[in-house]
A and B are shown apart, each in its own frame.
Chain A
Amino acid sequence: GAVVSQHPSWVICKSGTSVKIECRSLDFQATTMFWYRQFPKQSLMLMATSNEGSKATYEQGVEKDKFLINHASLTLSTLTVTSAHPEDSSFYICSAQGPSGNTIYFGEGSWLTVV
C-alpha cells in the first residue's frame, strides 16, 4: 500500500539553527501534503498545506517565515524550522492524500528537540 516516510525520525539542534524535515510519498504522487505539530500530551494541530509547485497555505497563527515549506516535486515536501528555539521542540508529522483521494497516509513523525 501507499506509504509516507519522514526523515529524520529524531533530530536535536542548537537554538538559533535551522533544521529540515523531509516527507516523501514512496509509491504514489502527492500533489498535496499536510504538516502537523503535536506537543507532548496534546492533539495534532495542522500547520500548513503543502502544494506541489506553489506556495504553502498556512493556518492562522503559524509563522510562515519561521516554518518554511517547500514542495518541489510530486513526492517530496520539506519543512524547515528556521532559527529554532526550545519552544519549537515538538513532534512534527506529515500526511498525504492517496491516489484514490479517500485515504490519507501519515508519516512516522519527526521528533525535534531544540537545546
Chain B
Amino acid sequence: AQSVTQPDIHITVSEGASLELRCNYSYGATPYLFWYVQSPGQGLQLLLKYFSGDTLVQGIKGFEAEFKRSQSSFNLRKPSVHWSDAAEYFCAVGINQGGKLIFGQGTELSVKP
C-alpha cells in the first residue's frame, strides 16, 4: 500500500541554522512527490514538487528537496532558516500520477531566536 512517513513529529532549529526534514515513501511506481507548508489554521501552500528529471528540486522560499529512489526518500532542506518558516510541513505522494495525494503525518518546525 502507498504510504508516506515523516519520522520527525517536531523539530526545533535556531534561526539561521540549516534544516532538513525527512520524508520516506512507499509506492510501487514512479512517484509524484510534494512538500507543502501549513501555518496554523490555514490551508496548504506548495513548496515544491517532483515528477521526473533532475532529482534535486528547487522550490519557493529557498527550499529544495532531493529525490533518492534507492532510499525512497524526498527530504526537504533549507540552508538558513528564518523565524517565519515556523509551521507544519507535509510530504505527500501522488497516486497514479493524478491529483489524489497521500500525506505524511507532518513535521512541526519551531524556530528559536
Contacts and interface: CB of A to CB of B under 8 A. Distances in A.
Contact of B43 (A45, A97, A108): A108
Interface stretch (B21-29, B69-77, B95-103): B95-103
B105 interface: yes
A93 B103 contact: no
A67 interface: no
Interface stretch (A12-20, A69-77, A79-87, A99-107): A99-107
Interface string B25-47: 00000001010100001111010
A71 to B, nearest CB: 13
- A contact face: mostly helix, strand, loop, or mixed: strand
Given A44-B90, A95-B101, A107 B43 contact: yes
Interface residues of A, number: 21
B85 to A, nearest CB: 19
Given A43-B105, A104-B34, A49 B43 contact: no
Contacts of B102: 46
Contact of B98 (A32, A36, A111): A32
B43 A106 contact: yes
B81 to A, nearest CB: 22
- Per CB-CB distance, the 10 closest pairs between chain A and chain B, nearest first, are A97-B99, A108-B43, A109-B43, A106-B44, A44-B103, A43-B103, A43-B105, A104-B99, A43-B106, A106-B43
Interface of B: 32, 34, 36, 41-44, 46, 49, 51, 90, 94, 98-106
